[in-house]
A = this chain, B = another copy of it.
Amino acid sequence: MNDLKIKQLFDYDSWTYTYLLWDEGTKNSIIIDPVFEQSDRDLSVIKKLGLNLLYIFETHVHADHITGASNLKEKTRAKICYGSKTGVDGADIFFEDGYKLNLDNHEIFVIHTPGHTSGCVCYYVKGYIFTGDTLFIEGTGRTDFQEGSSNDIYDSVKNKIFKYPDETIVYPCHNYKGFLSSTIGYEKKFNPNVGNNISKKEFLENERKKNRPYPKKFDTAVPANLKCGKT
C-alpha cells in the first residue's frame, strides 16, 4: 500500500482550509472544500503534483464562501460529492451516513454530523478526521441558520466525532487564531464549547445566549453553493 499524502491549503479571505489528499503511488486524489477564488491555484498545484483528481468532497453547503467544486469539475471531470441531506443541485454523488469510499487502498468513511447545517458530513481516513464546520479547534460551528441545531451538533461531536482515538488529527474547515490542526484528545480536554466537562444542558444554554452577526456572504454563497458553486 502506498502512502496517503495530505496537503492543507488556506484561503485568506474566508479563512477556509482546503485539503488535497492523494495516494503517492497512483496519484489518485480528492479535494475537500475547495474555494471558488482559489480554483486556479488549486488546479495549478494538482497539475504540478501530477495528480488525477477523482472526487471533490464537500463537508456542507457553505455560507461564508462559494465552493470551487464546479470550476474544478469542469477542468478535471472529478465527481462532486455531498452529504445526502444537503439537497444541492448538480452533485454527482450523495453520501449516506456510514458510506465507505476507497481511494486506492485508503478507506474513507463518511459521517453524517448534523448541527451546523442539517446536511453536514465529516470524513475520516485512518488517523485523520476532516470536521468541516462541525468541530473547530477550540470551537464548534454556528447553529443559528441553515437548519442548524444546537442539540444535534452536540450529539454529532460527542457521539460521532469524539469516538475516534485521542491521537486522531482534526482538520477543520476554518480557524481564526492561526491554528492549523488539532487532535481529538486535545479537543476533548480543551474545547470550551463541547469539551469533556461540558454537559448538553450547558452547551444548549451557551448557544442560546450567543448573538452572532449575519454572515456577510450568506446571501450570495448559499444560493451559489446549492448549485455546486455555479455562479
Q: Among B7, B8, B178, B190, which residue has its beta carbon within 8 angstroms of that of A12?
A: B178
Q: Among B41, B177, B186, which residue has its beta carbon within 8 angstroms of that of A48?
A: B186
23 contacts between A and B (CB under 8 A): A7-B180, A7-B181, A8-B180, A9-B178, A9-B179, A9-B180, A10-B10, A10-B178, A10-B179, A10-B180, A11-B178, A12-B12, A12-B178, A18-B178, A38-B178, A41-B177, A41-B178, A45-B179, A48-B186, A48-B189, A48-B190, A49-B186, A180-B180
Beta-carbon nearest neighbor of A42 in chain B: B178
- Inter-chain contacts of A178 with B (CB < 8 A): 9-12, 18, 38, 41
Q: How far in angstroms is the closest Cβ of chain B from A180?
A: 5
Beta-carbon nearest neighbor of A48 in chain B: B190
Q: Which residues of A pack against B, CB within 8 Å?
A: 7-12, 18, 38, 41, 45, 48-49, 177-181, 186, 189-190
Per the bound structure, the CA–CA distance linking A41 and B48 in Å amounts to 35
Interface residues of A: mostly helix, strand, loop or mixed? mixed
- Inter-chain contacts of A189 with B (CB < 8 A): 48
The 9 lowest CB-CB distance pairs between A and B, nearest first, are A10-B178, A9-B178, A8-B180, A48-B190, A11-B178, A41-B177, A12-B178, A9-B179, A38-B178
- Inter-chain contacts of A190 with B (CB < 8 A): 48
Knowing that A12-B12, A48-B189 touch, tell me 10 more A-B residue pairs with CB under 8 angstroms.
A7-B181, A9-B179, A9-B180, A10-B179, A10-B180, A12-B178, A18-B178, A38-B178, A45-B179, A180-B180
- Inter-chain contacts of A11 with B (CB < 8 A): 178
Per the bound structure, the CA–CA distance linking A18 and B180 in Å amounts to 11
- Inter-chain contacts of A7 with B (CB < 8 A): 180-181
Beta-carbon nearest neighbor of A41 in chain B: B177
Q: How far in angstroms is the closest Cβ of chain B from A7?
A: 8
- Inter-chain contacts of A18 with B (CB < 8 A): 178
Beta-carbon nearest neighbor of A16 in chain B: B178
Per the bound structure, the CA–CA distance linking A41 and B178 in Å amounts to 9
